[in-house]
Chains A and B, each alone.
Chain A
Amino acid sequence: AQRVTQPEKLLSVFKGAPVELKCNYSYSGSPELFWYVQYSRQRLQLLLRHISRESIKGFTADLNKGETSFHLKKPFAQEEDSAMYYCALKGTSYDKVIFGPGTSLSVIP
């Protein structure tokens, strides 16, 4: 069965410090992985997807199939990065997207 886990419910870092939000998944095939972000009082929006291999707002994420992980990283956290982050998975055989439990990131000024 497909599943997405995010071990940290809450993560606090100081401004300028590196940040890593962990995500692990279980899926028998080759999934598509995503990171979605929800800023305070805003709707959920796509941050990045593994197939794009791009950096958005300084964030990057590398898909590690051996470790079944898709951790989100940023070298220098900013206050505006404070938000709820969801890791998500889409299987190749279906269209739906499954979300992890989310990690609330708080960047301390």
Chain B
Amino acid sequence: GAVVSQHPSRVICKSGTSVKIECRSLDFQATTMFWYRQFPKQSLMLMATSNEGSKATYEQGVEKDKFLINHASLTLSTLTVTSAHPEDSSFYICSARGGSMGELFFGEGSRLTVL
């Protein structure tokens, strides 16, 4: 099946710095990718839809200047958490639609810890 890869899987940063997380579709092209955030023992919360070659569509309540999304190619979307604060610490998961049935494939997730 289709594979989605995220990098890094874990990152620790100081408060005030920016962190970039990459999401790649390894064996298929994805014009649309989705970024989710998951708090401990909670569900996935959709943050934004990343569209190749155009601006991302953010969900209500998600700060677009805080969470910068770039989808520069058909296989890569990046999420940059700018001026990170401890409350941004979370598990970030990306997904992309692929395969013959157009199902969602998920990355392994990236755990961000802001000190």
> Residues of A with Cβ closer than 8 Å to B?
43-46, 49, 52, 86, 95-102
Q: Could you show 12 A-B contacts with beta carbons less than 8 Å apart?
A: A43-B106, A44-B44, A44-B93, A49-B101, A86-B43, A95-B49, A97-B46, A97-B104, A98-B46, A100-B43, A102-B42, A102-B43
How many whole Å from B91's CB to the nearest CB in chain A? Answer: 11
Inter-chain CA distance A96–B97, complex, in Å, is 10
Given A43-B108, A96-B49, A97-B34, residue A86 in contact with residue B44 (CB < 8 A):
yes
How many whole Å from A38's CB to the nearest CB in chain B? Answer: 9
Are A99 and B97 touching (Cβ within 8 A)? no
How many whole Å from A98's CB to the nearest CB in chain B? Answer: 6
Tally the A-B contacts, defined by beta carbons under 8 Å.
38
* B-side contacts of A96, CB under 8 Å: 34, 46, 49
Are B49 and A99 touching (Cβ within 8 A)? no
Contact of A43 among B42, B43, B46, B107 (CB under 8 A): B107
Looking across the interface, which residue of chain B has its beta carbon closest to that of A104?
A: B41
Which one of A43, A45, A46, A101 has the highest number of Cβ atoms from chain B below 10 Å of its Cβ? Answer: A43
Inter-chain CA distance A98–B43, complex, in Å, is 10
Are A101 and B43 touching (Cβ within 8 A)? yes
* A-side contacts of B46, CB under 8 Å: 96-99
Are A99 and B106 touching (Cβ within 8 A)? no
Inter-chain CA distance A45–B43, complex, in Å, is 14
* B-side contacts of A98, CB under 8 Å: 46
Inter-chain CA distance A101–B15, complex, in Å, is 29
Inter-chain CA distance A43–B106, complex, in Å, is 7
How many whole Å from B33's CB to the nearest CB in chain A? Answer: 11
Looking across the interface, which residue of chain B has its beta carbon closest to that of A90?
A: B104
Which one of A44, A45, A46, A86 has the highest number of Cβ atoms from chain B below 10 Å of its Cβ? Answer: A44
In the complex, per-residue mask of B16-34: 1 if CB is within 8 Å of any chain A CB, else 0: 0000000000000000101
